[in-house]
A and B are shown apart, each in its own frame.
Chain A
């Protein structure tokens, strides 16, 4: 076995890899913001008494959760120009991540909203809060607190999913690694290092989210 490991391209490209990490985290964070927005709107429609509002949401959830993200991102990549939106790959990836994460976020947030006791809503109304205030203050915010752990693990999953966005050459870590790899042919060294970087990011996020929960969400309700 005469293979000599050569990490020179990795070391030379390390600043680029770190920028790639920032790109990855940015994509994941942006995608998560869209996902939570879709999640909240989706839950409102999903719990509507009108079937015509309910079933498109159910269809959306099932469709997204039962097809691969790679196919979704390809589809969106080709569909956006079709409806007149010419975006760069990174924005396309952001939208795809938001839509994909949104389907999961609806189900997560729904679980939280379902866990809010009906009596809370009645109490809120009895106190003279408007319906919007009741939904926002009494239902949604406690619901989001209740599902905080699921939402954070969804965020970490989304961070790992961003690597697939390299397929449409969005700016993130895997794509940066691909450039270094194709210039140096040190595939194993490059992808091995990048794997460690992903592991570091997901571990740091996990610790960070746990710290935030311990500091701000430790007591039952405000």
Chain B
């Protein structure tokens, strides 16, 4: 009979490392692809905007777990022999791109129309108009929601455990089966998630308050 000790805790911490790595990877890749989704959604070109809206609606209207399953098995069908972490990372990236795309769509739409008109009047084309006028302002508005989504993503990576990838939650299940103390182990696992997510949530709330004061 083994008890909760140093090796067990180290195993959990290694799981936490995978959770963080997976979250950061999906977040960074999601920022790039989410920006593309947001720009497509606000492009004003009907077919493209519709396509982006449909993409967002599908990801927001289905469970993350199903998205992971479909991507996981879909990639295998497509003949791509990927390792579990790669398939899962692609799944989370697609999920992140849809949610970040919708957050930034909202922020871009929140920028007064006059900004676009003024930029046009100054002769700025699409790229400089977006890069130098619209997006910097939109980014500031979107920051609290973006940080909030990062917390959602961090929690979401726990579903990789169901697909069989050993991140923090699955590491917890393994240890719990080993030492027969599920309450203790899942308490610690929950505590580790909390230790990462709570500061982020507080930071997001602070950003939101600051933004509310600034826009008063």
Please give the residue numbers on chain A whose beta carbons come within 8 Å of chain B beta carbons, in ascending order.
Answer: 1, 3, 62-63, 65-72, 74-75, 78-79, 82, 156, 160-164, 166-167, 174, 187-188, 191-192, 194-195, 198-199, 202-203
Q: Which residue of B lies closest to A65 (CB)?
A: B201
Cβ–Cβ < 8 Å partners of B76 in chain A: 188
Cβ–Cβ < 8 Å partners of A75 in chain B: 182-183, 186-187, 190
Q: Which residue of A lies closest to B182 (CB)?
A: A78
Known interface pairs A65-B201, A68-B169. Does A187 touch B73 (Cβ–Cβ under 8 Å)? yes
Contact of B182 among A63, A74, A167 (CB under 8 A): A74
Minimal beta-carbon separation of A189 from chain B (angstroms):
9
Query: Is A67 touching B73 in the complex (CB atoms < 8 A)?
Result: no
Query: Is A69 touching B155 in the complex (CB atoms < 8 A)?
Result: yes
Query: Is B172 touching A71 in the complex (CB atoms < 8 A)?
Result: yes
Query: Is A70 touching B161 in the complex (CB atoms < 8 A)?
Result: yes
Query: Is A66 touching B194 in the complex (CB atoms < 8 A)?
Result: yes
Q: Which secondary structure characterizes the binding site on chain A?
A: helix
Query: Is A67 touching B197 in the complex (CB atoms < 8 A)?
Result: yes
Q: Which residue of B lies closest to A194 (CB)?
A: B66
Q: Report how far A161 CA is from B79 CA in the complex, Å.
A: 30
Q: Report how far A57 CA is from B31 CA in the complex, Å.
A: 34
Cβ–Cβ < 8 Å partners of B162 in chain A: 70, 164, 166-167
Q: Report how far A160 CA is from B67 CA in the complex, Å.
A: 11
Q: How many residues of B contact A (CB 8 A)?
A: 39
Cβ–Cβ < 8 Å partners of B194 in chain A: 62-63, 66-67
Q: Which residue of A lies closest to B197 (CB)?
A: A66
Minimal beta-carbon separation of A76 from chain B (angstroms):
9
Minimal beta-carbon separation of B94 from chain A (angstroms):
13
Query: Is A71 touching B186 in the complex (CB atoms < 8 A)?
Result: yes
Known interface pairs A191-B70, A191-B73. Does A70 touch B61 (Cβ–Cβ under 8 Å)? no
Q: Which residue of A lies closest to B78 (CB)?
A: A1
Query: Is A191 touching B158 in the complex (CB atoms < 8 A)?
Result: no
* Complex interface bits, B188-213 against A, C-beta within 8 A gives 1, otherwise 0: 01100110011001000000000000
Query: Is A70 touching B158 in the complex (CB atoms < 8 A)?
Result: yes
Query: Is B66 touching A188 in the complex (CB atoms < 8 A)?
Result: no
Q: Report how far A71 CA is from B173 CA in the complex, Å.
A: 10
Query: Is A71 touching B66 in the complex (CB atoms < 8 A)?
Result: no
Query: Is A198 touching B63 in the complex (CB atoms < 8 A)?
Result: yes
Q: Report how far A66 CA is from B205 CA in the complex, Å.
A: 13
Q: Which residue of B lies closest to A198 (CB)?
A: B62
Minimal beta-carbon separation of A177 from chain B (angstroms):
9
Query: Is A188 touching B74 in the complex (CB atoms < 8 A)?
Result: yes
Cβ–Cβ < 8 Å partners of A69 in chain B: 155, 158
